Amino acid sequence: MYLADRMSVHSFVDAFRQSAERKEEFSYEALRALFEQLDDDAAGMEQPLEFDMVAICCEWSEMTRKEILKEYDVSEPEHLEDRTYIIPVYKNNLYPTLISYLIQEF
């Protein structure tokens, strides 16, 4: 569904960044984390996934901890793990800092 043609992380990020409608959908760090998740999912399938930017945007959201607590009425973002995928997104530097989460819509 997402990654036919075996996209690289760079072409995946560039596709979003060059899209007039979707360039602000995810942070750079979230796009990298999302690519890793989708690439791992694709590796376990018999056929490659087709890249579909709209489907990705409909299925995934990037949210801060505060937004998650308000939107889903949970005390911690990790409490959603039994209902859906939740991927922590870190700023990549010498000391990784949690900046947001990717939530698979459910």
pLDDT, tens digit (0-9, with 9 covering 90-100), for 14-44: 999 999 999 999 999 999 999 999 888 777 7
> What is the rounded distance in angstroms from the CA atom of residue 70 to the CA atom of residue 54?
25
CA distance 99 to 65: 8
Percent of the chain with pLDDT over 90: 65
Q: What percent of the chain has pLDDT over 70?
A: 94
Q: Give the amino acid at 77.
A: P
Contact 3, 43 (CB under 8 A): no
**Which is more confidently placed, 14 or 48?**
14
Q: Which residues pair with 62 in a beta bridge?
A: 102
Output the pTM of the full model: 0.86
Residue 8: pLDDT band with limits 50, 70, 90: confident
